[in-house]
């Protein structure tokens, strides 16, 4: 069985089995790496963010490998890759702007309830305290 990459079938390029197996092994290794790195969470001052960056970075690399080799993008017409990248870009746009907005209006939030809601809550708990104590103060 020929196994070089230029193998062509009746309707298109065929990916050699050996390449597929090597790719899978690489992906499994990357998985192990990312699990191991996640357990190291005391190296860095900004540990939370490093953790996220590394985990996401490895995920992106794995995704790219799956897309290029398993999903055949490496040998397909470039427009298809454009479709895939485009969809990811739009997700990024959505997440980016929604995040930006929500971070921007956090400082304007006033903790606590509005007076009307507060009134209702008071009335509710007063009634409960007066009647049965089904939802009494939580024991701590």
Structure tokens at 40: 């190291």
- Judged by CB under 8 A, the number of residues near other proteins is 80
CB 72 to other proteins: min, Å? 8
**115 SS3 class:** helix
CB 6 to other proteins: min, Å? 14
Asked whether position 75 contacts other proteins by CB under 8 A, the answer is no
Contacts of other proteins in 32-71 (CB under 8 A): 32, 34-35, 38, 41-42, 45, 47-48, 51-52, 55-56, 58-59, 62-63, 66-67, 69-71
CB 15 to other proteins: min, Å? 5
Please state, in angstroms and rounded to a whole number, the distance separating the CA atoms of residues 28 and 33: 9
Asked whether position 4 contacts other proteins by CB under 8 A, the answer is no
DSSP class of 13: B
Please state, in angstroms and rounded to a whole number, the distance separating the CA atoms of residues 24 and 75: 18
Asked whether position 130 contacts other proteins by CB under 8 A, the answer is no
| C-alpha dist (Å) from residue 74 to 27, 64, 77, 79, 132 | 17, 10, 8, 12, 69
Asked whether position 77 contacts other proteins by CB under 8 A, the answer is yes
Contacts of other proteins in 82-121 (CB under 8 A): 83-84, 86-88, 90-91, 93-95, 97-113, 115, 118-119, 121
Please state, in angstroms and rounded to a whole number, the distance separating the CA atoms of residues 22 and 16: 10
CB 29 to other proteins: min, Å? 11
CB 5 to other proteins: min, Å? 12
Structure tokens at 105: 């209006």
C-beta separation of 5 from 19 below 8 A: yes
């Amino acid at each position: 069985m020929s196994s070089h990459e230029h193998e062509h079938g009746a309707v298109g390029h065929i990916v050699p089995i050996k390449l597929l197996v090597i790719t899978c092994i690489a992906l499994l290794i990357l998985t192990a790496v990312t699990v191991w790195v996640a357990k190291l969470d005391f190296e860095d001052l900004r540990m939370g963010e490093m953790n996220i960056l590394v985990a996401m970075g490895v995920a992106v690399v794995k995704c790219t490998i799956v897309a290029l080799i398993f999903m055949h993008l490496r040998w397909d017409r470039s427009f298809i890759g454009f479709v895939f990248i485009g969809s990811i870009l739009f997700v990024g746009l959505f997440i980016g702007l929604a995040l930006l907005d929500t971070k921007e209006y956090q400082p304007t939030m006033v903790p606590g309830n509005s007076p009307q809601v507060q009134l209702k809550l008071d009335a509710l708990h007063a009634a409960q305290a007066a009647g049965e104590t089904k939802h009494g103060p939580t024991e701590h």
